[in-house]
Amino acid sequence: MPAESIIQIAEDFAKAKTASAICKLGVNVSPNSTVTYWLVEVLNSLTGNVDREGSLIFNPGIIDLDQKLALALGEELPTSYFGKHPYLTGAFPASELSREILMDNKDKVRALFVSGGDPSIVFPNSTRTQDAMRDLVLLVSVDYYMNETAQEADFFLPTTHFLEQEDLFTMFPEHQPYPFGFYAPKIVEPPENVKTQWDIYAELCEAMGIPFLVGDLIKMFAPSPDEAGPTVENYFKLLMAILGKANFDELKSAPHGFKVDDIRFGEFLEKVGKIDVAPQEFVDALKAVNVPITATEEYPLTLISNERIIQTKTTSLRGVPMLTSKVPENYARIHPEDAYVLDIADGENIQLETKNGSVVVRAKIDHNIRKGVVSILPGWGRVLFHPEKGKKIMAGANANLLTDDENLDPLSGMPVYNAIPCRIRRQGLDIGQE
């Protein structure tokens, strides 16, 4: 984009009566992700577009999420082993996990519980991730789908999906225009021997003789011994009693939920006072930023490896035949001019390479992608054992064989899934080379 266009957009944004700049996944998985996200928030702040109608709003939600997080984490937060990244929102960067499993150190990770996830496919550098999964002393998968990680697990514990369990939606209030409470009851009964994740971990804790989450608090606040069990409903009651802004019984009896409160503009700024738009850690990181190298002589194209489409949503919807029949495998989108250099036809297999690895994937010729850019859908390259056919079935190419688990954002530890130098090989010829 020309510099003049960027300047014009910035001036129009600053002069607008109201405006709001928001960045999400694309920025978050690209080089300099945290600094870029911070600068977007600085833009909102400097133009006065914070906590007022028509600008960046702050929805407090139906529970105090800050207090909930503080209760769960405590005051002293650890840092990750390799990158010394902070323990943000109750988690370390997943990108470091494989190295912490494979390292030669007494503090190495030896056991792993995976709840509703598939690290073998979705973590960067799948080669090392899969080696790490096999190196563990104990790997337990808690899921309703027998994915790649589950097939490597020592134990697979089948759990319920969202229609087979009750839920109280409290997270991501920023996605709602006002504080809104909604309790979702169980719709259908799960199959025999299938438990909720809550019950699985509660029973494990009971068997090991250790406290389960907030079991003691539930007993303390329960109106009677009969209501003191560590059930998920009792947890919801406790959550709303201590941190909530609505009565749980009222939420449970409202089939479509209800509006709990209004957003009071100015309340957030009144609470936090002045906004420090230039923390020294971020200023130092900005000074150290280099323009990312997105193409080299050896790898002349730029790879995007985290594109999303509605039919697959990475690995989440792959068990729905109505959707997977429409997109049975992933593909690599390339510009017609790049395809012309190699005489690549639409639907033809190509070998896509980065310095980290290579995959064979079908080409999709697309005028809508920029020349010099290649985009591949993630969440594929699945190797699943089909119990009825008695064999393993592979679908698509694993984009994370191309990504790196050591090229991380210095502030957050987020991996780089976009803007990776790559090349396409066909019969020994590279794009951009004779």
- Where helices occur in 48-102 by DSSP H, the ranges are 65-73, 97-102
417: closest CA among 380, 376, 369? 376
H or E stretch covering 360: strand 357-365
pLDDT (tens digit, 0 to 9) for every residue of the chain, 434 residues total? 899 999 999 999 999 999 999 988 889 999 999 999 999 999 999 999 999 999 988 888 898 877 776 666 666 778 888 888 888 777 889 999 999 999 999 999 999 999 989 999 999 999 999 999 999 999 999 998 888 899 889 999 999 998 999 999 888 888 888 999 999 999 999 999 899 999 999 899 889 998 887 666 777 666 676 666 778 888 888 888 888 888 999 999 999 999 999 999 998 899 888 899 999 999 999 999 988 999 999 999 999 998 888 777 777 666 677 777 777 888 999 999 999 998 899 999 999 999 999 999 999 999 999 999 999 999 888 776 665 566 666 778 999 999 999 999 999 999 999 999 999 987 545 554 43
- Where helices occur in 30-153 by DSSP H, the ranges are 33-46, 65-73, 97-102, 119-122, 126-135, 148-152
Q: Note the pLDDT of residue 312.
A: 74
Handedness of CA 49, 51, 57, 58 (dihedral sign): positive
Q: Note the pLDDT of residue 434.
A: 37
Q: How many residues does the chain have?
A: 434
> Where do the domains of the chain lie?
3-58+265-287, 65-259, 301-430
Q: Note the pLDDT of residue 277.
A: 94
* Nearest-angstrom CA–CA distance, 218 and 237: 9
Is the pTM higher than 0.75? The answer reads yes
Local structure of 391: helix, strand or coil? strand
CATH placement of domain 301-430: 2.40.40.20
Judged on CB neighbours under 10 Å (0-12, 13-18, 19+), 311 is: middle
Q: Note the pLDDT of residue 433.
A: 44
CATH placement of domain 65-259: 3.40.50.740
Q: Note the pLDDT of residue 373.
A: 97
Q: Note the pLDDT of residue 74.
A: 63
pLDDT single digits (tens) 246-278? 899 999 999 999 999 999 999 889 988 889 999
